[in-house]
Amino acid sequence: RKLMLKIGLIAEFNPFHNGHKYLINQIKKQFKDCFLVVALSDDYNQRGEITIANFKERKLAALSNGVDKVIKLDLLSSTQAAHVFAKGAIDLLLKENINILCFGVSDENADINTYITSAKQIKNNQIKYDQILKEYLNKGFSYAYSTLESLKKISNSKYIPKDILGFEYTKYIINNNLNIKPFCFKRTIDSTAKNSDGIYATGSYIRQLIDNGLDYSKYTDMVIRQPIKKIEDLYSKFQQIVFSSSSSELSQILLMDEGMENLFKKNIHADSYSKFVNLCVSKRYTKSRIKRVILYTILDIKK
C-alpha cells in the first residue's frame, strides 16, 4: 500500500483566518489524501508579543479546518528571528517524518525554484555571502534587509525570493541536505497589505480590527476572548525589573548584548511600552529585537 504523504506547515495562526483556510485547502488539493502536520507557535510570537488567542484555541481552529495534527513549537523558537524560528520549527517537523514543507509567499510567480536556486547560490558562496552579510549588519541594517541585499550581490538571478520566512525554511533544508521538499503557494493577499480584500485580510489587519472593537467576523471564524492579554500591560512589571536589577544582572538576559542593558537603564523612565521601544530602536537594534528582549526580561529567560 502506498505510504501516506506527510506535509508540514509552520504557523502562528495569530489569529487563524480565511487566508490560512485557503492555504490548507490548496495543500489538500495539490496533495490528495495527505496527512497535514502544523508546527504552531507558543503563546508568544516572533515579535515578542502575546498571541491574540492562546495555543489551545489556535490549535482547535486549525484542527477544525482540515489540519490533521498540531504540534507545539517551544517558546524560544517561537519568539526568535526568522532563521532561528525556521530551524526550531523544521527540527520539530523532522520528528514527524514529513516529506514536504509548504508555505505561502507573496512573490508574483510563486516559483519554488527561485527559492531553491537562491538557497544553493548562498550555500555555494557561503564565505563570500557571510562576509557581505556581516558588512551590512555592521552598518546597522536589519537582518532581513541584509540577507536579501547580500544575496543580490552574489546572485546572477533576476528573481530574488520575497518571503523572508519561506526563504529561511528553504535555506535550512538546502544547507543541511534534509530529505524534505520545499513547496510554496501564492498568498491570497500580500503579507504587508494594509487593507482587506473581500474575505481575505492579513493577521495584523484583523488584530487591528479586534483592537478597535470593530467587526472582524468575515475574515476569521475564531471568536477572540476579551480582554486580550497584551505585552503592553506588563510594562510596569518590566520597569520594576529594570529599575531593581544591576546592569550586570540584566546582561544575563537572552539576547541582551552589546550594552543593550545600559540602553534599557537609560530609557526605562519612558511612560509607556511603545515609547520605551521607540527610544531603544536604532540602526543597531531593530524593533523586533528590542521587543524580544523585553519579553525575555519579563519571563526571566537567561542566556
pLDDT tens-digit readout, 18-66: 999 999 999 999 999 999 999 999 999 999 999 999 999 999 999 999 9
Per-residue pLDDT at 195? 66
- Whole-angstrom distance, CA of residue 272 vs CA of residue 256: 20
Whether the per-residue pLDDT at 1 is higher than 60: the answer is no
Q: How confident is the model at residue 2 (pLDDT cuts 50, 70, 90)?
A: low
The grid cell for 6 is 506527510
Per-residue pLDDT at 106? 86
Stated as kind and residue range, the H or E segment containing 289 is helix 287-299
Residue whose C-alpha is closest to residue 13's, from 224, 193, 288, 166: 224
Q: How confident is the model at residue 112 (pLDDT cuts 50, 70, 90)?
A: very high
Q: Angle CA(170)–CA(171)–CA(172) in degrees, nearest 5?
A: 90
Taking residues 196-224, report their average pLDDT: 91
Residue whose C-alpha is closest to residue 178's, from 83, 85, 94: 94
Cα 135 to Cα 50, 146, 281, distances in angstroms: 33, 9, 20
Residue whose C-alpha is closest to residue 11's, from 1, 21, 2: 21
The pTM score is 0.92
Q: What is the DSSP string of 200-218?
A: B--HHHHHHHHHTT---TT
Helix, strand or coil for residue 205? helix
Which carries the bigger pLDDT value, residue 187 or residue 97? 97
SS3 helix, strand, coil % of the chain, rounded to 5? Answer: 50, 10, 40
Per-residue pLDDT at 193? 65
Whether the per-residue pLDDT at 297 is higher than 80: the answer is yes
Q: Do the beta carbons of residue 19 and residue 104 sit within 8 Å?
A: yes
- Whole-angstrom distance, CA of residue 261 vs CA of residue 163: 32
- Max mean pLDDT among 135-139, 162-166, 183-187, 295-299 falls in 295-299
Q: Do the beta carbons of residue 101 and residue 180 sit within 8 Å?
A: yes
- Whole-angstrom distance, CA of residue 303 vs CA of residue 294: 14
Helices then strands (H, E): number in the chain?
Answer: 14, 5
Per-residue pLDDT at 215? 93
154, 160, 166, 167: CA torsion to nearest 10: 0
- Whole-angstrom distance, CA of residue 170 vs CA of residue 116: 6
Whether the per-residue pLDDT at 108 is higher than 60: the answer is yes
Taking residues 173-194, report their average pLDDT: 87
Range in 72-76, 138-142, 174-178 the model is least confident about: 138-142
Q: How confident is the model at residue 295 (pLDDT cuts 50, 70, 90)?
A: very high
Compute CA 280 distance to the chain's CA centroid, rounded to the nearest angstrom: 21
Whether the per-residue pLDDT at 301 is higher than 70: the answer is yes
The grid cell for 165 is 520566512
φ, ψ dihedrals at 23, nearest 5°: -60, -45
